[in-house]
Chains A and B, each alone.
Chain A
Amino acid sequence: MKHPLFLIYGLAVLLSTGYAEYRGLSFTKINELRNVPKTVRDNPGAYRSHYGYGYGGVGRYAGGK
């Protein structure tokens, strides 16, 4: 074997990739919330989205061209 380090490195890359795919990892940053009120199911408008209303709970998205 002329490239034992490359072989070890390559296997490490492949195994890491396989693990990341198997566990469904992602680079995307998703805001995770706990104890969301069960009333959201019946009253979706009562939910305050972290993204749509800002951290202070005021203001709406003003995107577009």
Chain B
Amino acid sequence: MSSSPVSPPVVKPKALYCPNCGGPVELRGFGHALTVVCPQCLSVLDATTPEFQILQKFQGTERIEPLIPLGTRGKFANVEYEVIGFQERTAGSGGDTYSWNEYLLFNPYQGFRYLSEYKGHWNFIRMLNGLPQQAIVGKRSGVQYDGRRYARFSSAEAQTTYVVGEFPWRVKVGDSVVGDDFISPPYMLSSEVTGNEVTWSRGEYTSGRQIWQAFRLPGNPPAPSGVYPSQPSPFAGKVRSAWSLWLWMMVALAAMILFFMVGSGGQLYSQSYNYHPQSTGEASFVTPEFDVTGRASNIEVAINTDLQNNWLYFNLALINSQTDQAFDFGRELSYYNQGGETEGSKRDHVLIPSVQAGKYYLRVEPEGDAKSTEVVQYEITVRRNVPNYAFFILAALALCIPPLIVSIRAGSYETARWRESDFSAAGTSSGGDD
């Protein structure tokens, strides 16, 4: 099959004259047009009668210049179309109205296509041959067509408020249709009901830059404003991939935790002691020396007691017997259990960071309640290369930030899209029409 462009033959438009103003009126639609609007006086003329019978005279005060002038040709999917008609449509009532523009495109072999433009958002539209079927899309009502589901977005009565050029139907200002829009970005299905006639069309979201390139228009297209119903989300697919990457990161973190748990240097010293509060002797003592080997890493000093409604305070110093360097710290332990309610803890630990290799001993000085008579048993354990789980928790939290940001931004984008909808997630009308 040839892939050469399907271009309309270059023919000179048929020129006739407007019976209202006498100005020339060109026909580009190869006899498909039923009405034509005089570009000078904007009178709607019957294109099927030789004398161009006047169907409607322009009553408005303001002329609209289409962004794409009539007669401009542009290529879509390698098919060249010519802009032959333009209309402005308005929906809503009172001060709560909104308008959009529709361009009628024509190719003698492909027929008619449409371009719609609203606040810088463009859609390339073609009529459907089949009838969409009702469907449920998530929690929303909608339709299904050609294997794709479309969620119902809006419903409004729209009036033609400005028209110029040729049309294959009897168009005039004031024409009214009831339109329903269903979205599945980048597509939008629209139904238009006029009397007993229902027509369905499918629009594909197209950037203004693509339109400008297709028609080789000078300058830049108007910048789009807001989120259009069928505008593809820039976050489509990114949420899933972000969480997928997060999962791999968490697997790597879990592997790291396992590595450091397995690589823990193990126990250097452990001994049980008793604290006698009534003892009058020197409370402080030192442990035997123990060897700390390997790279500079942490040392954990853990204290485990059998406290019961009591407290103990420990003055501790980890002293390097070779360099006379000391790490001095204190730890308070208290545990109370009264009426089933507990407070405090019987155990505690401290991590001493980046301890160099060498010979060390602990100086321990316990202090307790002098009025107590209970002997408190406690155990001091010293370990090397102990995983610091605070870092792992912080890393896990930090790794959650990027996918959370992507998810929130994607959610905000969809919220902005559906804020303009007439229908809630349950499929009922929310009463809004803008």
Of the listed stretches B114-122, B191-199, B386-394, B423-431, chain A binds B386-394
Interfacial residues, chain B to chain A (CB-CB below 8 A) = 237-238, 241-242, 245-246, 249, 252-253, 256, 260, 282, 284-286, 295-299, 310-311, 313, 315-317, 319, 321, 324-330, 332, 334, 336, 343, 350-355, 361, 363, 365, 367, 369, 385-388, 390-392, 394-395, 398-399, 402-403, 406
Interface residues of A in 6-58 (CB under 8 A from B): 6-7, 9-10, 13-14, 16-18, 20-28, 30-38, 40-41, 44-45, 47, 49-52
Given contacts A23-B354, A49-B330, A61-B313, A14 and B321 within 8 Å (CB-CB): no
User: Of B253, B334, B336, which is within 8 A of A17 by CB?
Assistant: B253
CB-CB < 8 A to B385: which residues of A? 24
CB-CB < 8 A to A3: which residues of B? 238, 241-242, 245, 402, 406
Contact (Cβ within 8 A) B298 A40: no
Contact (Cβ within 8 A) A17 B326: no
CB-CB < 8 A to B241: which residues of A? 2-3
CB-CB < 8 A to B361: which residues of A? 41
CB-CB < 8 A to B367: which residues of A? 52, 60-61
User: Of A7, A13, A36, A44, which is within 8 A of B325 by CB?
Assistant: A36
The count of A-to-B residue pairs whose CB atoms sit within 8 angstroms is 166
User: Of B249, B252, B353, which is within 8 A of A26 by CB?
Assistant: B353
Q: How far is the CA of A35 from the CA of B406 in the complex (A)?
A: 54
* Nearest chain B CB to A16 CB, angstrom units: 8
Q: Residue on A with the closest CB to B329?
A: A30
Counting chain A CB atoms within 10 Å of each CB, which of B321, B328, B336, B352 scores highest?
B328
Interfacial residues, chain A to chain B (CB-CB below 8 A) = 2-3, 5-7, 9-10, 13-14, 16-18, 20-28, 30-38, 40-41, 44-45, 47, 49-52, 60-61, 63-65
User: Of B253, B311, B319, B325, which is within 8 A of A64 by CB?
Assistant: B311
